[in-house]
């Protein structure tokens, strides 16, 4: 426990509201967590998997009406509506508190109230932040113990400080009509009710690490970003770090855990994973931008994960992992999901718990948004510096999207301001798998549209302010697109491990080792500077030229789409971003 009066006063206030049958503080001790796991297995909240093949692993099934983030029920509650911006659902704080308090009133009468002290980032790092989550779900406790650093060590680091984020969660009745995820940035508070799905209830994840943290970052002069962090080690043993933002379905985790092509591996190149989802970035003592991964685990999408697409992620899941909403193979008590292999089990249960024959059923075995929660320390390519309290220095920032035509394979911004514009206009096109309207452009600036805790126009302004502070030590900014297709709809670039070839060019640019051609949208590679050794039969110089081609008519159509997207931000859109849009249009017309 703790003597911190701010913590104790808040816990007492919440205990009076919730009226739990008992209170348990999470200490972080292994025997406490194992005891809770055993209890959850006994009640059916978790299913114990084959402990020889998957030691420490369990399966959880969420309610059928509770399988994903609920953006329409997610609110930013600030005193002024303009502060939340057009990118967020808004409600006045007092109105939201008044609406939610009855939902929490006495909700834990027959339940234990678990109090989880947790650290986002390495415990004791000056860049880390501390939070508490109150919950009535053992599933939440065990996930938070993987995703964050929990327990007494966090209480010790907090000491007597009142600088912590207050998180309250209850599964309540899992009533989707009364499901809310409410953020109160001015109060450092998060309330989540009537959900058990990780994205809505692991309050250290998107709620704290992005929505609240982005608000704090603007106030305190740092950045909370929806970015992976990876290190590229060259044959001389030097490691350069890259942060990258991608919307969903763009291969973010695959890039974070990339396996270099054989020609690179033979030369001694390695990829090190620092984080797969979130980066907190601060200006270090030497004036460079440094990033920490505030998380301690991965909450990854399972379908499509296999030996080819992401062998490191697959290996990470084989120990001490909580699987959510995947199929259960009854023959050997292991798990299966679409995309794992071509041999679905015949004697199985689907994610809902119904009997399922994977070779005959037309229904899915695993939910499309099924997940794994796994410890970062179990990843085979986890960086030796992933818990460095000062973070890792960032050489390059990447933005990317899924564009069938317009965006080239890679291009570089002219400077930080132009790079901010690239991030602000980031987009993907919908595919047949996601919607009936194929090719619809969805803007997702910096992959932060659902996660920015304040007005996104001001967020672009904060990026520009950070660039002013970094000056000539700012990372270079690039845009990549692995998804360009030919006239037959076939991907032109091999992707996966071969994306290393693009990272190689990017780092060569950062070190001024190669030149580039300046065109209307920025700098593009010279064809001969993209290493195609070993894939010459797949990627000819002619194909590379096509991959790097920019067609003004396509881009001018994109400009009109960008104007439409920016319109709701009105006067909050920085003039520098408007200038970059005007400059792009002018360049394309000349």
pLDDT digits (tens, 9 = 90+) for 209-247: 999 999 999 999 999 999 999 999 999 999 999 999 999
57 is catalytic: no
Q: Is 127 annotated as a binding residue?
A: no
Q: Is 69 annotated as a binding residue?
A: yes
Give the separation between CA 40 and CA 60, rounded to whole angstroms.
10
Question: What does the H/E/C string look like for 264-332?
Answer: HHHHCCEEEEEECCCEEEEECCCCCEEEECCCCEEEEECCCCCCCCCHHHHHHCCCCCEEECCEEECCC
- Domains of the chain, start order: 5-45+70-220 (3.40.449.10), 225-295+384-589 (3.90.228.20), 298-378 (2.170.8.10)
According to DSSP, residue 121 is labeled S
Q: Is 370 annotated as a binding residue?
A: yes
Q: Is 248 annotated as a binding residue?
A: yes
User: Among 11-25, 417-431, 557-571, whose mean pLDDT is lowest?
Assistant: 417-431
Given a cut of 60, is residue 89 above it in pLDDT?
A: yes
Joined together, the tokens standing for residue 62 give 């969420």
Asked whether the beta carbons of 49 and 57 are under 8 A apart, the reply is: yes
Task: Assign 44 to helix, strand or coil.
Answer: coil
Given a cut of 50, is residue 434 above it in pLDDT?
A: no
CA 265 distance to own-chain centroid: 28
Model confidence over 333-359: pLDDT tens digits? 999 999 999 999 999 999 999 999 999
Helix, strand and coil percent figures for the chain, each rounded to 5: 35, 25, 45
Joined together, the tokens standing for residue 270 give 């390695």
Q: Is 112 annotated as a binding residue?
A: no
Q: Is 497 annotated as a binding residue?
A: yes
Residues comprising the chain, all counted? 590
Give the separation between CA 400 and CA 416, rounded to whole angstroms.
16
Backbone angles phi, psi at 491, to 5 degrees: -60, 135
CA atoms in the 13 A half-sphere facing the CB of 57: 26
Q: What is the mean pLDDT of the chain?
A: 97
**pLDDT band at residue 324 using 50, 70 and 90 as cut-offs:** very high
Per-residue model confidence (pLDDT) at position 251:
87
Given a cut of 80, is residue 433 above it in pLDDT?
A: no
Burial code (b: 16+ CB inside 10 Å, e: under 16) for 121-156 equals bbbebebbbbbbbbbbbbbbbbbbbbbbbbbeebbe
CA 283, 285, 288, 290 dihedral sign is negative
Model confidence over 126-167: pLDDT tens digits? 999 999 999 999 999 999 999 999 999 999 999 999 999 999
Is pTM beyond 0.95 here? Answer: yes
**pLDDT band at residue 432 using 50, 70 and 90 as cut-offs:** very low
Given a cut of 60, is residue 192 above it in pLDDT?
A: yes
Q: Is 97 annotated as a binding residue?
A: no
Give the separation between CA 426 and CA 440, rounded to whole angstroms.
14
Q: Is 253 annotated as a binding residue?
A: yes
Asked whether the beta carbons of 569 and 459 are under 8 A apart, the reply is: no
Give the separation between CA 301 and CA 370, rounded to whole angstroms.
6
Give the residues across from 477 on adjacent strands. 397
- Using a pLDDT cut of 70, give the percent of the chain over it: 98
Per-residue model confidence (pLDDT) at position 440:
87
Q: Nearest 5°: CA angle at 566, between 564 and 567?
A: 65
Angle, helices 5-18 vs 93-104, to 10°: value is 60
Given a cut of 60, is residue 388 above it in pLDDT?
A: yes
Closest CA to 206 of 131, 290, 114: 131
Is residue 354 packed enough to be buried (19+ CB in 10 Å), middle (13-18) or exposed (0-12)?
exposed
Given a cut of 80, is residue 423 above it in pLDDT?
A: yes
Residue position matching structure tokens 């010459």? 536
Q: Is 277 annotated as a binding residue?
A: yes
Q: Nearest 5°: CA angle at 288, between 287 and 294?
A: 120
Q: Is 367 annotated as a binding residue?
A: no
Joined together, the tokens standing for residue 297 give 């685990």
Per-residue model confidence (pLDDT) at position 438:
58
Given a cut of 90, is residue 26 above it in pLDDT?
A: yes
Is residue 468 packed enough to be buried (19+ CB in 10 Å), middle (13-18) or exposed (0-12)?
exposed
Q: Is 405 annotated as a binding residue?
A: no
Model confidence over 441-498: pLDDT tens digits? 999 999 999 999 999 999 999 999 999 999 999 999 999 999 999 999 999 999 999 9
Given a cut of 70, is residue 589 above it in pLDDT?
A: yes
Q: Is 587 annotated as a binding residue?
A: no
Q: Is 273 annotated as a binding residue?
A: no
Model confidence over 61-85: pLDDT tens digits? 999 999 999 999 999 999 999 999 9
Q: Which of 57, 77, 207, 250 is catalytic?
A: 250
Per-residue model confidence (pLDDT) at position 431:
55
According to DSSP, residue 151 is labeled S
Cα dist. 318→156, 378, 481 in Å? 32, 9, 31
Closest CA to 129 of 195, 198, 199, 190: 190
Given a cut of 70, is residue 530 above it in pLDDT?
A: yes
Asked whether the beta carbons of 123 and 142 are under 8 A apart, the reply is: no
Q: Is 407 annotated as a binding residue?
A: no
Q: Is 197 annotated as a binding residue?
A: yes
Given a cut of 70, is residue 436 above it in pLDDT?
A: no
């Amino acid at each position: 426990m703790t003597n911190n009066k701010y913590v104790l006063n808040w816990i007492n206030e919440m205990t009076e509201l919730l009226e739990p049958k008992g209170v348990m503080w999470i200490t972080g001790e292994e025997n406490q967590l194992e005891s809770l796991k055993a209890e959850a297995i006994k009640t059916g909240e978790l299913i114990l998997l084959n402990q020889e093949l998957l030691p420490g692993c369990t399966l959880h099934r969420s309610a059928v009406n509770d399988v994903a983030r609920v953006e329409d029920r997610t609110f930013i509650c600030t005193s002024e509506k303009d502060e939340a911006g057009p990118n967020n659902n808004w409600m006045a704080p007092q109105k939201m508190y008044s609406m939610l308090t009855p939902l929490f009133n006495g909700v834990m009468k027959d339940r234990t109230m678990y109090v989880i002290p947790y650290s986002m980032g390495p415990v004791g790092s000056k860049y880390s932040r501390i939070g508490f989550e109150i919950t009535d779900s053992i599933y939440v406790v065990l996930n938070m113990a993987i995703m964050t650093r929990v327990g007494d060590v966090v209480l010790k680091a907090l000491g007597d400080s009142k600088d912590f984020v207050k998180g309250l969660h209850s599964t309540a009745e899992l009533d989707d009509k009364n499901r809310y995820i409410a953020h109160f940035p001015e109060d450092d508070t998060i309330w989540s009710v009537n959900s058990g799905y990780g994205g809505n209830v692991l309050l250290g994840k998107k709620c704290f690490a992005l929505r609240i943290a982005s608000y704090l970052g603007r106030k305190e002069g740092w950045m909370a970003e929806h970015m992976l962090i990876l290190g590229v080690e060259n044959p001389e043993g030097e490691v350069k770090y890259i942060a990258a933002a991608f919307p969903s379905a763009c291969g973010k985790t695959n890039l974070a855990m990339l396996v270099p092509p054989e020609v690179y591996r033979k030369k001694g190149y390695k990829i090190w994973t620092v984080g797969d989802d979130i980066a907190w970035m601060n200006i270090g003592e030497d004036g460079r931008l440094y990033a920490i991964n505030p998380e301690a685990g991965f909450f990854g999408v399972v379908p499509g994960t296999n030996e080819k697409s992401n062998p490191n992620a697959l290996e990470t899941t084989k120990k001490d992992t909580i699987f959510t909403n995947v199929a259960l193979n009854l023959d050997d008590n292991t798990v299966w999901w679409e995309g794992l292999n071509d041999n679905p089990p015949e004697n199985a249960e689907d994610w809902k718990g119904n009997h399922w024959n994977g070779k005959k059923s037309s229904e899915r075995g695993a939910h499309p948004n099924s997940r794994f929660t796994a410890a970062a320390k179990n990843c085979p390519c986890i960086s030796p510096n992933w818990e460095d309290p000062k973070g890792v220095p960032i050489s390059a920032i990447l933005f990317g999207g899924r564009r069938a035509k317009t965006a080239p394979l890679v291009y570089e911004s002219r400077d930080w301001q132009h790079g901010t514009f690239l991030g602000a206009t980031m987009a993907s096109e919908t595919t047949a798998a996601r919607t009936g309207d194929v090719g619809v452009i969805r803007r997702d600036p910096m992959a932060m549209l659902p996660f920015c805790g304040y007005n996104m126009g001001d967020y672009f302004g904060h990026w520009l302010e950070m660039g002013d502070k970094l000056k000539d030590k700012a990372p270079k900014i690039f845009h990549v697109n692995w998804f360009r297709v030919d006239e037959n709809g076939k991907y032109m670039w091999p992707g996966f491990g071969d994306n290393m070839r693009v990272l190689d060019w990017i780092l060569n640019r950062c070190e001024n080792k190669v030149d580039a051609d300046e065109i209307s949208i920025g700098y593009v590679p010279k064809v001969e500077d993209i290493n195609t050794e070993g894939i010459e039969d797949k990627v000819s110089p002619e194909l590379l030229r096509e991959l790097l081609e920019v067609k003004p008519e396509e881009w001018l159509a994109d400009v009109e789409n960008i104007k439409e997207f920016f319109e709701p931000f009105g006067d909050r859109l920085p003039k520098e971003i408007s200038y970059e849009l005007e400059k792009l249009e002018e360049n394309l017309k000349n």
